A and B are shown apart, each in its own frame.
Chain A
Amino acid sequence: MIELQDLTCRFGDFTAVDAISLAVDEGAFCALIGPSGCGKSTTLRMINRLVERSAGTIRFAGEDIEHFRPEDLRRRMGYVIQSVGLFPHWTVERNIATVPALLGWPPARIRARVEELLALLRLDAARVRDQYPDQLSGGQQQRVGVARALAADPDVLLMDEPFGALDPVTRDALQDELLRIHRETRKTIVFVTHDMDEALKLATTIALMNRGRLVQVGTPLDILARPESDFVRDFVGREDHGLRLLAVQQVASRLRAGATVEGAPVQETMSLRSALSEMMTRGCDRLAVTDAGGRPVGGLFLEDMVRRPA
């Protein structure tokens, strides 16, 4: 869906983004992650041409983005930023309707679409529709921000640290909502963050950047289990590394099929981290496991979890 080829961006003598190449498949959830100033936001902003690149190419749906007018390109890419940027003089409804209105949709269609999006983001339409942004909580504002980005059913969603300014509880809830929306809509998402746990939780692909260069690209498990450099090892955290590794794997991956274990069963789709927590709570070293339908499929043993995967 989006292909970056030798993408470079210079500001004067400073090279913010240095010849990176990356392909984001349709339906993927790609997290661009790295320390402050690593060029991740600049990379994102080159995709919708808020920043013009110095060299390299970006292809969107197979076509060079140079062939689009910037405005037309942006109307096909939802955009969400950390500071939300709702228009304070417009109601929630008018804010969400921004891009449909730019595209000249008829009012009835806009109204129906706003209704649909408020429901998708679990906002109370009757209450919120005619309110102004400053009457909403931070979490509600960002829900509206996401709804606004999705309004014209864009092919791609670009998100620049969208949950960075929220408190941990609200952030967690919105991450869950985003995962659900990604599952339901299969949108291609490019998501900038500096929070490894957020990237591990949300992304299907993680692209780790440092000083304008792409350091490693892979699935969350790849990045955790097979870090290619000390920088990656440091960034994914030496201290919590093992727990993070467990968090991105499911019970099914260490299942001893057919084993019978006493006690309340857990589902095979549970993360290994949650399963370990469950063992700690119960003070046991094994758990009975069932599939999604509740049929017993085997047991999970602490000794199998501790062993590194082959």
Chain B
Amino acid sequence: MTSPRQALHLPGPLAWLVVAFIALTLGMPALRPVFAALFPYLDRPVYVQESFVSLVLAHLELVAVSSGAAVVVGVLAGIFVTRPAGAAFRGVLDTVVAMGQTFPPVAVLALAVPALGFGEPPALIALFLYGLLPVMQNTIVGLADVPEAAREAAAGLGMRRMQVLWQVELPLAAGVILAGIRTSVIINLGTAAIASTVGSKTLGSPIILGLSGGNTAYVLQGAILLGLLAVILDLGFARLARALPRRPS
């Protein structure tokens, strides 16, 4: 079904948000008078230690690498434990990943630093562990929800195991798996900000510096961009979910 908006080729909310986000990222220094008026008691009302462009790019890279790894490992692990050969590992894996999830991210970072040093490696490890659970859980649930009759028919008609997986199980589980990836990426987007405490450059850098230095303007600048980014990614995933092949009602 086409909505009137699509028929007229007007840009949707997603496009407007992207424009707003890019404009804010590039033009934050130009907003100095605004922040100066809002926070008259601050000497430096705009974060200038690094450009916001480099912060956004570093933040996105951190999320992309950690979530990408979490998606690959999570989906593969989810597939593995729903095969007959891997069924025995399902309980163990569930427990381990759930433990990883209950661990506060700050604690993971603090433990990773002595082992891996400051900077990106501890942040990547923490975010990877964090993003793993929703992806794996949803992969398992999505595959378990595939109607038994479809699975039996697929085998009975002569599909090989990989064909059943690719042609029947994964397409039918795709919606649920994508929802898990969406949760995982959005969580990581927010958690990545904390990685600035161990020296990674992210949108969390102005927030943390602002919190420790009593500079509310810095906190606001980092938080606005981070919030916008989260909404944009979420809407992007919603659009992706609609583009998936038809899901049975």
**Are B247 and A85 in contact, with the CB atoms below 8 A?**
no
**B114 within 8 Å of A (CB atoms):** no
Residues of B within 8 A of A134 (CB): 248-249
Binding site for A on B (CB under 8 A): 147-160, 163, 167-168, 171-172, 245-249
Write the nearest CB–CB distance from B93 to chain A, whole angstroms.
27
A98, A132, A158 — which one has the most chain B CB atoms within 10 A of its CB? A98
Q: Which residue of B lies closest to A91 (CB)?
A: B246
Write the nearest CB–CB distance from A14 to chain B, whole angstroms.
20
Residues of B within 8 A of A158 (CB): 156
Stretch of A73-81, A238-246, A268-276 lying at the B interface: A73-81
Q: A71-B158, A72-B158, A158-B156 are in contact. List 4 more A-B contacts (CB 8 A).
A: A70-B158, A88-B150, A89-B246, A98-B157
Select which of B157, B158, B159, B248 is within 8 A of A88 by beta carbon.
B248
Instruction: Supply 8 A–B pairs (Cβ within 8 Å), ascending by A.
Output: A50-B156, A71-B158, A75-B158, A83-B148, A85-B147, A87-B150, A87-B153, A99-B157
**Interchain CA distance A79-B154 in the complex, whole Å:** 10
Binding site for B on A (CB under 8 A): 48, 50, 70-75, 79, 81, 83-89, 98-99, 102, 132-134, 145, 148-149, 158
Select which of B153, B163, B171, B245 is within 8 A of A86 by beta carbon.
B153
Write the nearest CB–CB distance from A141 to chain B, whole angstroms.
11
A81, A85, A134, A148 — which one has the most chain B CB atoms within 10 A of its CB? A85
Q: Which residue of A lies closest to B159 (CB)?
A: A102
**Are B157 and A102 in contact, with the CB atoms below 8 A?**
yes
Q: Which residue of B lies closest to A103 (CB)?
A: B158
Residues of A within 8 A of B172 (CB): 87-89
Select which of A84, A102, A133, A145 is within 8 A of B158 by beta carbon.
A102
Residues of A within 8 A of B160 (CB): 71
**Are A74 and B246 in contact, with the CB atoms below 8 A?**
no
Residues of A within 8 A of B171 (CB): 89
**Are B157 and A148 in contact, with the CB atoms below 8 A?**
yes
Write the nearest CB–CB distance from A132 to chain B, whole angstroms.
6
**Are B150 and A86 in contact, with the CB atoms below 8 A?**
yes
Q: Which residue of B lies closest to A75 (CB)?
A: B158
Residues of A within 8 A of B154 (CB): 85, 87
**Interchain CA distance A79-B157 in the complex, whole Å:** 6
